[in-house]
Amino acid sequence: MKNTDAAATHTEQIKMRGFFGNLIDRCYVLMDNKYIKWGVYLALLAITIALPLIMNNYWIGVIRTAMLYMLLAMGLNVIVGYTGLVHLGFAANFAVGAYTTGILVKTFGWSFWLTIPAAIVISIVAACLIGGPTLRLRSDYLAVVTLGFGEIIRIAARNLQITGAASGLSGIPRPYFFGIHLTSHTSRYYVFLVLVIIFIFLSNRIKSSRFGRALEYIREDEDAAKAMGVNTTLYKLFAFIVGAVFGGVAGSFFVLDMGAISPNSFQFLMSANILLAVVLGGMGKIPGVILGGAFIAIFPELLRSLSMAFPSGSVMAYAMDFVGSARMLFFGIILVLVMIKRPQGLWPERHR
């Protein structure tokens, strides 16, 4: 009788997961084979390295933007995905790193590479200032505090002279890397690719460490974790610090890519997009977060470029122009459908 009930429950779970969920489970089984896993990784790396050879500068720029979202999403994933906290002001950590690098390079003439340790230190200080007093809060209260922190940083940057006020900082010189001046789209593409690989490695190390396991316990049941001797406040603060460092470093490289920064780059919409990338991809799952970041950046641009595939003046061209102009509407509809059908994300944690 028990075996029959277990089989019925298993069958019901398969039906609930649906075709896409079962496909993901089969992919997990395939990736258990280390030869297949490393073969897939090497193939993806080779394709990513080769992309600038077959794409124009516009699409290289779009993919760089996608990589930036991946970096930021991996930082927020430590806070939201690993620890289960709600952070609605992650653009503030992004802004702290960007403005630290921008001010030091533009105003004080520092080398870009020397500003990265400074951005890390300032990001840690900012994380301690916001995290120390507030991490005893939970759920909605913590979300409101982080949202306020994000707006405080943006408004301060908009009104301080050292940050360039509302106009921001422009004309920030790009650095050299082993004699290569990072002015071309392709050179900056490869810099971001290396940074994404480093972030993936660090995220995996964090997840498999004792620190990562403690964060997972806090996410699943904070009271039980506290009862078992886990200092939940301290670990949550560490998670805030690690996420802030990831965001600050991404902000520094954002300055390298754009050569300019302004407060408009760090509005609440930016924080919402980063959070959306984490939730849409699959909280706590690094490949899912990367997929979510790519989806957020690339899919709207695909809708924008649809009209170019049809002859000018044709009915389809007009239809695609409408789709391109209303791309964010269609993008929102697709996101709603995805979250209805896949509430756990496109690439969630492995089903056990």
pLDDT digit string (tens) for 259-278? Answer: 899 999 898 889 988 988 89
pLDDT in tens, 100-140: 999 999 989 899 999 999 999 999 999 988 877 777 776 67
51 pLDDT higher than 50: yes
pLDDT at residue 317 in the model: 64
Taking the complete model, does pTM exceed 0.85, yes or no? Answer: yes
Q: Is the pLDDT of residue 17 over 60?
A: no
- 252, with CB counted inside 10 A (0-12, 13-18, 19+), is buried
Determine which of 42-51, 292-301, 324-333 has the lowest per-residue pLDDT on average. 324-333
- Rg value, the chain, Cα: 22
Please spell the DSSP secondary structure of 212-270, one letter per residue: HHHHHHHHH-HHHHHHTT--HHHHHHHHHHHHHHHHHHHHHHHHHHHS-B-GGGGSHHH
Q: In the numeric block, which tokens belong to residue 48?
A: 């990513």
Model confidence at 2, in pLDDT bands (50, 70, 90)? very low
112 close to 256: Cβ distance less than 8 angstroms: yes
The pLDDT of residue 340 is: 78
Instruction: Return the half-sphere exposure (C-beta side, CA atoms, 13 A cut-off) of residue 85.
Output: 34
Average confidence (pLDDT) over 202-226:
90
Confidence at 313, pLDDT banded by 50, 70, 90:
low
Q: Which residue has the tokens 């900056």?
A: 188
Domain ranges of the chain: 18-44+68-341
Q: What gap in Å lies between CA 75 and CA 157, rounded to an integer?
A: 22
How far from 316 is each of 149, 216, 311, 326, 328, CA to CA, in Å?
46, 50, 8, 15, 19
Is 258 a residue whose pLDDT tops 70? yes
pLDDT confidence bin for 199, thresholds 50/70/90: very high
* Averaged confidence pLDDT in the chain: 84
